[in-house]
Structure 1
Amino acid sequence: MLTLQNSGLSDALVILGAAGLVIPAFARFRVSPVIGFILVGVLVGPSGLGALVGQSPWLYYFTISDVHSIEPFAEFGIILLLFSIGLELSFRRLWAMRALVFGVGAAELLGAGLILGGAFYLTGLSTGGSIGLGLALALSSTALVIPIAGTTSAVGRAAFAMLLFEDLALVPIIFLLGALAPSAGDAGMWGLLQTLGAGVMTVAVLFVGGRFLLPRMFAQAARTKSPELFLAASLLVVIVASLATAAAGLSPIVGALIAGLLIAETEYHGEVEAITAPFKGLALGVFLITVGMRLDLRFVGENWGALLGATMLVMLVKVAVTMGLLKLSGARTGTAAETGVLMASPSETTLIVLGVAGAAGLIAPGTGAFWTTVTAIGLTATPLLAKAGQTISRLIEGSTPTDGTDTLVDEAGPGAVIIGFGRVGRTVADMLNRHNLPLLAVDADIDNVNAARRDGYRVLFGDVTRTELVDQLRLGHAKALILTMDDPVLTVRLAKRVRAWVPDLPIIARARDAAHAAELYRAGVTDAVPETLESSLQLSEAVLVDLGMAVGPVIASIHEKRDEMRKSIRLAAGLERDPRLRRSRMSDAKE
């Protein structure tokens, strides 16, 4: 037991050390963290420093000698990645992409698989082995491509559509290889049909149950105002959906994608995405470390020519097929080229298919090891392929971005952003609506959010104390930020953070009193409105009108008094000079 615990602690030390020390060092030199994680896997894996544990036992605490011990964490990282992708989608958007997913996506997988499989067959490999290797290498990496390309640009949408079809096709591919195994008969195909039927029923149950249960479950979690409970509910949904599809014979990542899609249709998707982001990044890093551990440096050194040639062959075939299909579908040449290069390397799921093909006896162990190494090399090169694709796209299209128009449409600013949707925030929203100005509101009280959404307001549920959620509001594209929260400390902190990020954004904040307003001005707000100031001015206006004063002069004097008091607050904040001091200095200068 002690040895097992020490093994777990040493593995955790390596992983956290990579995330906390090595990756920031790569980021400082503008090198992709993906490469950093993979190189860490090579360094601390069984073919790196792990091979020296026998001579230097102290290295045991800084290496990972058993790759399989951390594979469950890597798989969970891929599940969280697909879950986050589902959160960025909606059923309407997915339906709009159906031609890309089931048209271009299917043609890309089958076309690349057919060409690669045909090449393997001509070299003497069996029919089943050729099909298995061709389909395995035709897959592309969801785990690396989507974080690089996103899902909103033209390149990101095209890549995501093809990757989505590949993820859906993974289970049929696995069962097809099982049916092609020398020991399989009619039972193999019958098992495939049974799995597909069970999978369809499971997906239907998830969709129907999720529609009714998820909003109620997250509403209860939101009312507790406990981030821990909200996180637990989010992870519970992911795990249950993944286990359900796995039990039906489908891939767990299909369940994770469905869970994300269901939550994306609720008002909680922003908060869920923000609260699960750190776990996704760390778990994905674990997966990349396992990829690096699969690289045997001695094997690479002995066979570098064949490995390099095989890697280039796979990439060239996939670039040609992907680019050609996207051009036929109407994509711009630059977009097609960039997407093709980005999708050129094999996938993390390639390793799964290779393992299944080896277990089914379709390929020899040596062949599987060779192509596993090719896959690891290709995954390592993915960030470099992304840079190369962008360069090629710019050369083809000139100085005009290939997907600039699409990105601007998808990243259009939300207009005015109101944080806090109580009585003050709702009043501000009413005035903006009266003047036909677009707005987006955020509030941490789920009952306020539900009531506002029923009344037709565009309100999101979220906790703005989380930096990730504020980043998702795209304040760089907003017209103004209005802070109406009844939390003086949070208002000041948020104003400082946003002002440092977006220097030119108008920020209008609610203040409790003159002292709080002065603090907000120092934090960088454009205008601070103290509640005590406005209530006293409204009271003064009512008194003067009731005493018989004309409304016009009263309103003018109220405006004059408001300007005077605001100047005094800005003076107290150190943002304006005292005019009396200015006149005194001018007199001294004349003398």
Structure 2
Amino acid sequence: MDNHHFLQTALVFLLATVIAVPLTKRFRLGAVLGYLIAGVVIGPQLLSLVGDTAGIATISEFGVVLMLFVIGLELSPQRLWVMRRAVFGTGLLQVLSCSLVIGLASYYLFGLAIHAAAIIGGSLALSSTAFGLQILAERKEAGSAYGRQAFAILLFQDLAAIPLIAAVPLLASSDSPHGFDLQQSLRTLGAIVAVVVGGRYLLRPVFRFVARAKAVEVSTATALLVVMGTAWLMELVGVSSTLGAFLAGVLLADSEYRHELESHLEPFKGLLLGLFFISVGMSMDVSLLLHQPLQVLALVLAVLLVKGVLLWPLGRVVGMLNRADALRLAVLLACGGEFAFVVLKQADEQHLISLPQHGLLVLAITLSMALTPLLVMLVAKLFDVSAKKSTREYDEINTEAPRVIIAGFGRVGQIVGRVLRAQRIPFVALESSVEQMDTLRRFDTKRNFNNTSLFFGDPARPDMLRAAQADKAEVFVLATDDPEANLRIARLVRRQYPHLKLIARARNRQHSFKLMDLGVDEPVRETFYSSLKMTRKTLEALGLSSELAADRVERFRQHDIKVLKAQYLVFDDETRLVQTSQEALNDLLHLFDADDEPSAEREREKTTPEPLSDQG
């Protein structure tokens, strides 16, 4: 490829990526689908902007090698041991059951050879790690029960992909007229032992030696050398290069250089992996969707249904999820995955499957991945509707008259409650989230929390406040994290219980203004005091003395409170609000300039400011 064509090809790839990937991520369809669409558009199926597809595919395969190395780095023995039940329980059963059912269907229903059926079953059993983790992160459900179970299954699938990739050439050799190649198997085993032993005793001293040079580019070059070296060694003995890269990653998973290696390789991995998916898209036979639409759609539905039907009972029985979470798990992991592209490409090259079979399977996997975000959103909406129709009754409040009522028992409310409990001050906490109540009662059984001061109920309802004996309380702490609910409760308390001192949590300045409108004198902005403490630590890190840093932060705190009260008078006038903000900044600059004068410094020495306490 000459220089002109190289630059043209590079520009085409970059332009397609810049357009397609942001569009698919905007619609929550994931970056992988964006790369695949970009490949289809610039490939021979549509615009034919890139000619050397074979050369591009060869270069892009190194992205898969780097991905396997980084996955190996993540699989430290300690991490696997902590998650052993979910990873080697649900994950193992999912891969085995799906591989077996899909493999048997391929063998008996479609008449494929046993080795081809085994490879197809194993590859289609894998789900998309990129899609799954991205969807969980976007929906903030990675820490949920089904999110943790999904992560464990995806982790085992990443592990299972390695022997599957390594098995392709072995199955191809045993499928040849010469039968099983014992010499080849021994060479493979010897190479694996050499990588493991050599990596165990050589890699760390090498990285220690390189680290002394304190040159980032040399560390990056060393990381690439390790990956490429192990990949080359494996390829030399006729095994997939990805297996060598994965083994090198596993060997370094517990080393002190793990995070440094990952940061050095991440840019290369991202770019080359994107190039790999683009090359997959370029090789995709989209015309099959036009000529054989029923066959393609039937295959997509079959994959989604078979995996979904097998995942649901696994989530229920092994993962101990409720029905809703088990269904969400099944929908999330029913699609095909990016490792299937790697395995099927190798199977095609080794002539285990035919070119039409490869094209049909790749197209079906891509469509299943495209449907997954839509199915996840549909299931989430269905369960949101059912959640609103929940018939769970609010708790009956039977307790002594409290001095404090806390509305909302999340992060903020719990801290207030813990201090009050330590001071033996009676309080009643009202929490309207079923999930939060379940979590609190699960982790606080020793104190019998649910029978003393925490109750399931909506603090925005007058009858709940009456039951909580708000008329006998002294202080009402408004700690809910929903600004609208916060304002509703504040209006109710101010109207029906004007004697209560109202301590209200505020999301931001605008929320503070609305609370001040309701008569709350000093709303507590939830990140204000923690931000002040971070500012003080930053000033100290820059060389200011502890006393001067504390003084500057305290000056700012007092100044900002005055500004908040001044802006409250004009908060509905945007022009005046902007003007007061600019005036406040100028005033603060003059204030700090005055503090730097010698007379101010002598005054500070006489009266050292009180250190800022942890209030956030």
Q: Is the 8 A contact 1:206 1:241 kept in 2?
A: no
Residue 356 of structure 1, CA deviation? 4.9
> What SS is found at the alignment partner of 1:332?
coil
Distance between the aligned counterparts of 2:552 and 2:111, measured in 1? 87
Q: Which amino acid is 2:269 matched to?
A: K
* Unmatched runs of 5 consecutive residues or more in structure 2: 389-432, 444-526, 560-584, 595-616
Distance between the aligned counterparts of 2:340 and 2:60, measured in 1? 15
TM-score normalised according to structure 1 size: 0.61
Instruction: Return closer, same or farther for 1:185/1:147 CA change in 2, 3 Å cut-off.
Output: same
Q: Which residue of 159, 166, 169 corresponds with 2:160?
A: 166
> What SS is found at the alignment partner of 2:334?
coil
Residue 93 of structure 1, CA deviation? 0.9
Distance between the aligned counterparts of 1:250 and 1:146, measured in 2? 30
* Unmatched runs of 5 consecutive residues or more in structure 1: 51-62, 410-501, 510-523, 536-558, 582-591
Counterpart in the other structure of 2:108: 122
Listed as ranges, the matches of 1:319-334 within 5 Å are: 319-333=308-322
Q: Which residue of 539, 543, 556 corresponds with 1:528?
A: 539
Q: Which residue of 531, 539, 550 corresponds with 1:506?
A: 531
Residue 300 of structure 1, CA deviation? 1.3
Instruction: Return closer, same or farther for 1:266/1:76 CA change in 2, 3 Å cut-off.
Output: same
Residue 148 of structure 1, CA deviation? 5.1
Residue 12 of structure 1, CA deviation? 0.8
Instruction: Return closer, same or farther for 1:156/1:208 CA change in 2, 3 Å cut-off.
Output: farther
Counterpart in the other structure of 1:177: 171
> What SS is found at the alignment partner of 1:367?
helix
Instruction: Return closer, same or farther for 1:164/1:24 CA change in 2, 3 Å cut-off.
Output: closer
Q: Is the 8 A contact 1:90 1:265 kept in 2?
A: yes
Instruction: Return closer, same or farther for 1:337/1:252 CA change in 2, 3 Å cut-off.
Output: farther
**1:371 and 2:348 aligned:** no
Instruction: Return closer, same or farther for 1:387/1:269 CA change in 2, 3 Å cut-off.
Output: farther
Distance between the aligned counterparts of 2:354 and 2:239, measured in 1? 26
Larger Rg: 2
Q: Which residue of 151, 158, 166 corresponds with 1:157?
A: 151
Select between 326-335 and 306-315 the one with higher mean Cα deviation. 326-335
Instruction: Return closer, same or farther for 1:78/1:343 CA change in 2, 3 Å cut-off.
Output: farther
> What SS is found at the alignment partner of 1:65?
coil
Q: Which residue of 288, 312, 336 corresponds with 1:299?
A: 288
Q: Is the 8 A contact 1:101 1:161 kept in 2?
A: yes
Instruction: Return closer, same or farther for 1:155/1:98 CA change in 2, 3 Å cut-off.
Output: closer
Distance between the aligned counterparts of 1:563 and 1:232, measured in 2? 48
**Could you list the per-position Cα deviations for residues 529-561 of structure 1 after superposition, in whole angstroms to 9, with x for gaps in the alignment?**
4988749xxxxxxxxxxxxxxxxxxxxxxx799
**1:203 and 2:196 aligned:** yes
Q: Which residue of 202, 205, 220 corresponds with 2:212?
A: 220
Q: Which amino acid is 1:323 matched to?
A: W
TM-score normalised according to structure 2 size: 0.58
Q: Which amino acid is 1:183 matched to?
A: P
> What SS is found at the alignment partner of 1:213?
helix
Distance between the aligned counterparts of 2:367 and 2:36, measured in 1? 10
What is the aligned length? 429
Residue 360 of structure 1, CA deviation? 5.7
**Could you list the per-position Cα deviations for residues 498-536 of structure 1 after superposition, in whole angstroms to 9, with x for gaps in the alignment?**
xxxx87643668xxxxxxxxxxxxxx667734988749x
Distance between the aligned counterparts of 1:90 and 1:330, measured in 2? 23
Residue 570 of structure 1, CA deviation? 11
Distance between the aligned counterparts of 1:278 and 1:114, measured in 2? 37
> What SS is found at the alignment partner of 2:319?
coil
Structural RMSD (CA): 4.3
Instruction: Return closer, same or farther for 1:200/1:139 CA change in 2, 3 Å cut-off.
Output: farther
Q: Which residue of 240, 245, 264 corresponds with 1:256?
A: 245
> What SS is found at the alignment partner of 2:127?
coil
**1:17 and 2:3 aligned:** no
Q: Which amino acid is 2:37 matched to?
A: L
Instruction: Return closer, same or farther for 1:361/1:64 CA change in 2, 3 Å cut-off.
Output: closer
> What SS is found at the alignment partner of 1:575?
helix
Listed as ranges, the matches of 1:479-498 within 5 Å are: none
Distance between the aligned counterparts of 1:299 and 1:265, measured in 2? 46
Residue 213 of structure 1, CA deviation? 3.0
> What SS is found at the alignment partner of 1:528?
helix
Listed as ranges, the matches of 1:55-74 within 5 Å are: 63-74=49-60
Q: Is the 8 A contact 1:171 1:250 kept in 2?
A: no
Select between 168-177 and 559-568 the one with higher mean Cα deviation. 559-568
Listed as ranges, the matches of 1:515-554 within 5 Å are: 528-529=539-540, 534=545
Instruction: Return closer, same or farther for 1:340/1:68 CA change in 2, 3 Å cut-off.
Output: farther
Counterpart in the other structure of 1:344: 334
**1:45 and 2:38 aligned:** no
Residue 258 of structure 1, CA deviation? 3.9
Q: Is the 8 A contact 1:202 1:248 kept in 2?
A: no
Q: Which amino acid is 1:528 matched to?
A: L
Instruction: Return closer, same or farther for 1:392/1:69 CA change in 2, 3 Å cut-off.
Output: farther
Residue 214 of structure 1, CA deviation? 2.6
**Could you list the per-position Cα deviations for residues 470-495 of structure 1 after superposition, in whole angstroms to 9, with x for gaps in the alignment?**
xxxxxxxxxxxxxxxxxxxxxxxxxx
Residue 375 of structure 1, CA deviation? 2.9
**1:32 and 2:30 aligned:** yes
Distance between the aligned counterparts of 1:387 and 1:569, measured in 2? 44
Instruction: Return closer, same or farther for 1:356/1:8 CA change in 2, 3 Å cut-off.
Output: same
Q: Is the 8 A contact 1:101 1:165 kept in 2?
A: no
Residue 305 of structure 1, CA deviation? 1.5
Q: Is the 8 A contact 2:86 2:319 kept in 1?
A: no
Percentage of pairs with the same residue: 30
Distance between the aligned counterparts of 2:22 and 2:93, measured in 1? 40
Q: Is the 8 A contact 2:69 2:227 kept in 1?
A: yes
Q: Is the 8 A contact 1:47 1:293 kept in 2?
A: yes
Q: Is the 8 A contact 1:245 1:254 kept in 2?
A: yes
